[in-house]
Structure 1
Amino acid sequence: MAAVIYDLELEMLENSIYHKIKKCILKFGKLPEDFVAEEKTYKENELRFAPGALEGIFGHHMSDEVKECDFAQIIKDYLSMKPEEALQIFEQEQVKNYKVASIRQSLQNSIYEHREDYDAEKLAGLAVCFTEYGTKTETVKLGLSLLALFHVADKPGICEMIATLGYCEEFTDYVIMNSRNWAEDRQQELYFELAKKLKGWGKINAVEMMQADTEEKKKWLLCHGCKNDVMYAYLGYECAMKCDLYERLQKGNFSDEEFQGASDIMSGLLDEGPCEGMSALEHPIELTLLYLEECKKHNWDAEQVALLTDIATYFRGSKIENSPSIEPKVKEVLGLLDIHTYIVENIEKNTHECMRIAKMYDIDMSQHLIRLMKMDFAKYYNFCYYLFTNHQSVDEFLTLCDREIAYEQYPNKMGDDLGLGPVQGGIKLDLIVQHLDKHFGKGREMIKVCIQSPITRWRNMAAKAMFGWVRESGLSLKDIDAKLYAEVERVHAIECSEQTKGMWEKLL
């Protein structure tokens, strides 16, 4: 009987996620880039999350409100079984019904509040079994969530298992949760090791927990701390504070590696969407001016130039005191480039950045854009907003449209489509037609296609353009273009959108 149990445990371990991770760590020291904890099949249109993303979303963007958890009763039922039986039932019958990230806090709270109802030894055994033998990511997450209810710092085997799972970004957040009652030096050693090995949400979690208590850690945070595969904003402020970025910039003379790291941090500081950023710093203006001064000492790539324009854009709209002092400094730094040459050499690959630089220096980009559109219309036509807004080369662009766009390929039928994703015909005509209201009589063929389109927004943009013509000329649509008037009359009779129908009525 003992041999049978041993064989069962060995088979379970061989198939477990923990065992797969441990083998990779022993062999490579980290997980391979293509490592997958669990092969999953997805239904059409089912949301997919990067490893650790769901935990990151709940941790950074959801409230701390704790609700009663019905899953606690299921855990109670599991305690009447052998742990491996409970694991099998969970993975075969229940795993698809739960996302542990969304229930772990309420589950832990419920179990702790009613802890007298649970056999602690059996609960610990269940937690270890799910963590060690789970073949589904949700199983391991559930095991780690239960394991966090126990003090295991004096159990080296369990601590080793927990730490090993941290190398997989699916579980890093749960591993950090479990390590909070470990000795501080042991915690910090783990966080630093994980931060160096991970790239996604796991790295974000580890860096947030790191203490910058040595010069080695501070330099690493400067050079490598902010770079991640999710969003620099999550770590920009964290790294700026922990690596003493302001004090380091005061000293200056960064190595190229340090300068690249500082640039990553600056990029994160500018994006204040999900986290604190530039405006939360004690000396945001002084820090930025020091960074811009440091820029003069280093070579730049297109990404660096883009960051400089981002800095100018950020402070142009900022309420931080003395923000107006930043843009002239950015222009001074960018002035070290031959701006015109840079734009010519980079506009094909870095169009947006070149457009922003041109705006800062009041450089006319119309002919550069026309050249790109002639080269690859489908790739660059959406930059037509510049031509329309600045009233430059509009006729040349519209002539190009008539040459490049196959109007006959667009559908002619009523519908309430949203127009998401690729469209029949290829070119999203609403991106062009939305500008035609201020360009009397131009783009009539495109407007006709949009009137006939099953995409509601396209019909609305066509109506908007014709409203502009009527307003500008003082004429009725029938007097401006009898054929377009007839088309509006036809579509009005079959229009399925009440809002759009009202727009047609005003034109008739």
Structure 2
Amino acid sequence: MVLFFDPARRSPWAGRTSIYAHIQRQIAEQGTPIDGALPDDEQFWGEGQLRWVAGGLDGAMGHHAAPGVLTDEMRDLVGLLAKQTRRPTTSARKATYRKLLETDLGGAMDDVLEEVLKHPGMLAGPLFEEAQWFAEHAADRNVVKFGIALLGLYRNEKVRDLLLALGSHDEFTLYAAVALQNGSDDGNDALFQLAQRVNGWGKIHLVERLEPTTPHIRDWLLREGCANSIMNEYLAHVCAVKGELHAALAAEKVDGELFEGASVIVQALLSGGPAEDIDDYDHAPQVIADYVRHAGTMCASAMQLSVVLDIRAFLDRADEKWEARFANGWTEAGRAACMQACEALLAEPRWTRVVLEAVSPPGLGSGDQSESRKGRARVEHFYGVACARKLGLDVWEQLFGQLAVEPLDSSLYYDLMRTEDAGRVRRVVEFAEAQLPLREIATGPADERGLGPGFKPHMCLDMIVQSLDAHEGVGRRLIAAALMSPVVRNRNLALGVLEAWPVEAWGAEVSETLARLAQLEPEAAVQERVRKLMDHVVG
């Protein structure tokens, strides 16, 4: 007798690592925060698709999208779940699990939970057990999220450690935070515990929900709450208000950690962006004045210097918003006093040394530094370059020298190409032609987005080619390589250069490569640009 295995009867989670086990292992091996990879990445995103940063899809939907709508498919899911609670078999679990994989809950999770609560056939005890199983054993993120959300309907102290572990990963922090808030008396303590573990969208969700119930929490909000791997602007106003920044900076003296944290908050408030900014902050005049006062004795780093420069630019900017500001606490005298204090501080000669040390820190690019030290050096380098530009300091040669150590650092190419000196542009181009792996880049047109560490050379090429439209005839080899790159952005930037140059400046290699691209280009919009250029040549 021959036995045939029916794949449809196999459990969707069989033979796969559960997400909870994966997160536990990461926490044990590297602590927190943990990286964003999950064992279901390939199944969830699909090959070649744009991938959101961990928690990014839910975060963007929660902050910038309208709520979802309950659909018949979602009601069917709730019906399957009710059957599962009445007859909790493996077969029923498989059916519910598969339905979860097929159903996009989108922004409708709250509506689905309401449907669960009012379903007449839903049994509370078995539902809790299935929710815990989904959260603990599922190998797919959306099943885990649904399990966590269901646990939020219950007193869930018994699964607190499970929720804290899952919440340590940005992809699940939002769901764990809501569940912990709804299901325990000390939910705020749990949120604070999690907030100190995560960095990214998870931190945004937690800080937004965290209540400043103790001095310790308020101190943390001011010192560490705002700095994040996802736009500090999301949390600046939240931290300033909840942490009572105005009261903290009103002191005669402040400690270094508070001044550093205030620097992050003030800079993000001035930047504006996706959340409330400086014009939404009731204590803005006082905080700006007190920050500048403390900066007179405490400003020491390029990052802190950049905040003073941003404050000066804000105060000096003549726009229509000042009329509203004067009606909301600002005064002409206060604005002028802050401006004068900024000018006096910026006139000190020490800033040249601070900026140059930030631009060229000892050991930059060497392998003998810890990752944390490298990270801090890169942050200071970024601010050093920004301050140099604002102060009129020429650091081009220092940056060019760093290319020898970091030939695949796209930010260096970006900064170096921000020059009107044609000779300097040629030096960058000649270096790139010699050092970038142009043959490996020019593998043929495809629909790659060019994201991730495997595309560092392509990103470097972007930073150069995007500026070549103003430099006729310079960088032809780079343009030819970009035309044959699998990264769509490379090809589009190269075509933009050719659209700006006269045909006689292209050269034979570029012209031949463009003709070849006309036969190979897979993207319709890019193909149309190629066709127009070829018509121009023929014409």
Structure 2-normalised TM-score?
0.68
Going from structure 1 to structure 2, the CA distance change for 1:138 and 1:337 (only over 3 Å counts) comes to farther
Pick closer, same or farther for the CA change 1:427–1:159 going to 2, 3 Å: closer
Q: What is the distance in 2 between the residues matched to 1:490 and 1:165?
A: 51
Deviates more, 1:294-303 or 1:485-494: 485-494
* Residue 205 (structure 1) shift: 2.5
CA apart distance, 1:239: 0.8
Q: Which amino acid aligns with 2:158?
A: G
Q: Distance in 2 between matches of 1:412 and 1:169?
A: 36
What is aligned with 2:173? 172
**Residues 52 and 201 of structure 1 are in contact (CA less than 8 Å); yes or no, is this contact kept in structure 2?**
yes
Following superposition, the deviation at residue 276 of structure 1 comes to 1.6
Indicate conservation of the 8 Å contact 1:249/1:291, yes or no. Answer: yes
Match of 1:340 among 352, 357, 363: 352
Rounded to whole Å, the distance in 1 between the matches of 2:92 and 2:35 is: 23
The equivalent residue for 2:377 is none
- RMSD of aligned C-alpha atoms? 4.8
Report the Cα distance in structure 2 between the residues aligned to 1:120 and 1:493, rounded to whole angstroms: 65
1:205-235 deviation line (CA, Å, top 9, x unaligned)? 2322222233232222222222344332222
Query: What does residue range 344-423 of structure 1 map to in structure 2 within 5 Å?
Result: 344-348=356-360, 352-365=382-395, 379=409, 380-388=412-420, 392=421, 394-395=422-423, 397-398=425-426, 401-402=429-430, 405-406=433-434, 420=450, 421=455
Distance 1:356 1:21 in 2: 38
Residues 97-153 of structure 1, C-alpha deviation per residue, up to 9 Å, x if partnerless? Answer: 3565655234224445x53354555545543443455455433322232344x4x34
Q: Measure, in 1, the Cα distance between the counterparts of 2:135 and 2:481.
A: 57
Q: Which residue of 2 aligns with 1:301?
A: 301
Matched, 1:459 2:495: yes
**Aligned match for 1:443, one of 474, 491, 507:** 474
Tell me whether 73-82 or 350-359 shows the greater mean CA deviation: 350-359
Distance 1:493 1:128 in 2: 57
Where does structure 2 lack aligned partners over 5 or more consecutive residues? 1-13, 362-379, 486-490, 520-526
DSSP-derived class of the 2:250 partner: helix
Amino acid at match of 1:443: V
Q: 1:211 to 1:427 in 2, by over 3 A?
A: closer
> SS of 2:76's equivalent?
helix
Matched to 1:73, the amino acid is D
Q: Secondary structure at the match of 1:434?
A: helix
The reply on whether 1:144 has 2:148 as its aligned counterpart is: yes
Residue 271 of structure 1: how far off its partner (Å): 4.2
- Deviation at residue 245 of structure 1 after TM alignment: 0.5
Matches within 5 A, 1:459-498: 459-466=495-502, 484=507, 497-498=527-528
CA distance in 2, matches of 1:115, 1:334: 66
Tell me the residue number matched to 1:77: 80
Distance 1:448 1:165 in 2: 47
CA–CA distance in structure 1, aligned partners of residues 32 and 397 of structure 2: 47
1:287 Cα deviation (Å)?
Answer: 1.8
Larger mean Cα displacement after TM superposition, 337-346 or 276-285 = 337-346
Look up the match of 1:469. none
TM-score, normalization by structure 1? 0.72
Partner of 1:283: 283
Amino acid in structure 2 at the alignment position of 1:333: L
Give the Cα–Cα distance (whole angstroms) in 2 for the partners of residues 337 and 101 of structure 1.
55
The residue that corresponds to 1:3 in the other structure is none
Cα displacement string for residues 66-121 of structure 1 (whole angstroms, at most 9, x for unaligned residues): 33251331332243343352674158745543565655234224445x53354555
1:430 paired with 2:462, answer: no
Shift of 1:343: 3.8
Task: Give how far 1:169 is off.
Answer: 4.5
In 1, Cα distance between equivalents of 2:55 and 2:483: 45
Distance 2:449 2:38 in 1: 35
- Pair 498,400 (structure 1): closer, same or farther in 2 beyond 3 Å: closer
Return the alpha-carbon distance in structure 1 between the equivalents of residues 37 and 493 of structure 2. 42
State yes or no: 1:105 paired with 2:136: no
| Residues 111 and 31 of structure 1: CA distance in aligned 2, closer, same or farther (over 3 Å) | same
SS at match of 2:499: helix
Q: 1:488 to 1:162 in 2, by over 3 A?
A: closer
Query: How far apart, in 1, do the equivalents of 2:39 and 2:478 lie?
Result: 48
Relative to structure 1, is the Cα distance of residues 408 and 160 closer, same or farther in structure 2, using a 3 angstrom cutoff?
closer
- What letter corresponds to residue 344 of structure 2 in structure 1? E
Structure 1 residues 464 and 241, CA, compared in 2 at 3 Å: closer, same or farther? same
Offset from partner CA, 1:318-361 (integer Å, 9 cap, x none): 76427985666544334335233334333346565344333433
Alpha-carbon contact 2:164-2:194 (below 8 Å) kept: no
Equivalent-residue separation in structure 2 for 1:431 and 1:415 (angstroms) = 18
Using the alignment, how far apart are the partners of 1:228 and 1:498 within structure 2? Answer: 41
**Separation in structure 2 between the aligned mates of residue 22 and residue 492 of structure 1, nearest angstrom:** 54
Question: In structure 2, what is the equivalent of residue 8 of structure 1?
Answer: none
For 2:443 and 2:57, how far apart are their aligned partners in 1? 41
For residues 392 and 276 of structure 2, the distance between their equivalents in structure 1, rounded to whole angstroms, comes to: 33
2:248 matches 1:248: yes
User: SS of 1:145's equivalent?
Assistant: helix
Change (3 A) 1:316 1:385: farther
Cα distance change of structure 1 residues 271 and 107 upon mapping to structure 2, 3 Å threshold: farther
Report the AA paired with residue 39 of structure 1: P
SS where residue 386 of structure 1 aligns? coil
Helix, strand or coil: the match of 1:274?
A: coil
- Deviation of 1:403 after TM superposition, in Å, equals 6.6
Q: Which is worse superposed, 93-102 or 354-363? A: 93-102
Contact 2:232 2:264 in 1 (8 A): yes
Count of aligned positions: 467
Give the Cα–Cα distance (whole angstroms) in 2 for the partners of residues 46 and 412 of structure 1: 21
Show structure 1 runs of 5+ residues with no match.
1-11, 467-476
Partner Cα separation in structure 2 for residue 217 and residue 236 of structure 1:
15
> Superposition pairs for residues 121-132 of structure 1, below 5 Å?
122-131=126-135
Judge conservation of contact 2:54–2:171 (CA < 8 Å) in 1: yes
Work out whether 1:55 is the aligned partner of 2:58: yes
* Alpha-carbon separation, structure 2, partners of 1:227 and 1:171: 20
Q: Which amino acid aligns with 2:109?
A: R
- Paired with 1:381 and 1:198, the residues of 2 have a C-alpha distance of 32
- Deviation, 1:254, is 0.8
Contact 2:157 2:183 in 1 (8 A): no
